[in-house]
Amino acid sequence: MIKGIDHIGIAVKSIEGSLPFYEKVLGLSLLKVEEVEEQGVKVAFIQCGNVKIELLEPLFEDSAVGAFIKKRGEGLHHVALGVRTIEERIHELKEKGVQMIDDVPRKGAGEASIAFLHPKSANGVLYELCEKTLEEEKKH
């Protein structure tokens, strides 16, 4: 059902200001930077072994990630689990009593289909289901 961890989302005030830690200090490689306007974020993907670190910078202060940083400060935002056939996975989780934030997938970075589980169903952790396009799957 779950293929593994696809990426870990970290909320940051500034991607530019945060990248030197990942690139210069940790020696990791930046894969790409893109804006996901629907979600009010700019994201940077950094390869870390088989997993990616996704830096999330709010595009405006009252976006979801902007509100998160205001309330809790920078830090771990979500864990994204790689899946196939996301609609079936959502259905399956709901059958098992999981409360979903998204009953219907929405568009994430790289045209992926994503859906969040409500943290109260998952030990306070915000989990994202993430089904990548076949093209993206081949790339990374």
The interface mask with ligand CMX, positions 78-97, x = CB under 6 A, is: x-x-----------------
The distance from CA 137 to its chain's CA centroid, rounded to whole angstroms, is 15
Q: Which of residues 28-47 bind ligand CMX (CB under 6 A)?
A: 36, 39, 41, 43
Residue in this structure with the two tokens 């990374």, named with its chain if needed: 140
Q: H or E segment at 16?
A: helix 15-20
Output phi, psi for 115, to 5 deg: -150, 135
Cα dist from 23 to 57, 77, 137, whole Å = 17, 20, 23
Span from 14-22, 24-32, 88-96, 121-129 in contact with ligand CMX (CB under 6 A): 121-129
- Alpha-carbon distance of 39 to 24, in angstroms, equals 29
The distance from CA 84 to its chain's CA centroid, rounded to whole angstroms, is 16
Which listed residue (22, 45, 116, 127) binds ligand CMX by CB under 6 A?
Answer: 116
Which listed residue (1, 2, 64, 104) binds ligand CMX by CB under 6 A?
Answer: 64
Nearer to ligand CMX, 96 or 120 (CB): 120
Which listed residue (52, 77, 89, 132) binds ligand CMX by CB under 6 A?
Answer: 77
- Alpha-carbon distance of 52 to 46, in angstroms, equals 5
Q: Which positions lie near ligand CMX, rule CB under 6 A? A: 9, 36, 39, 41, 43, 54, 56, 64-65, 68, 77-78, 80, 101, 108-109, 112, 114, 116, 119-120, 124, 126, 128
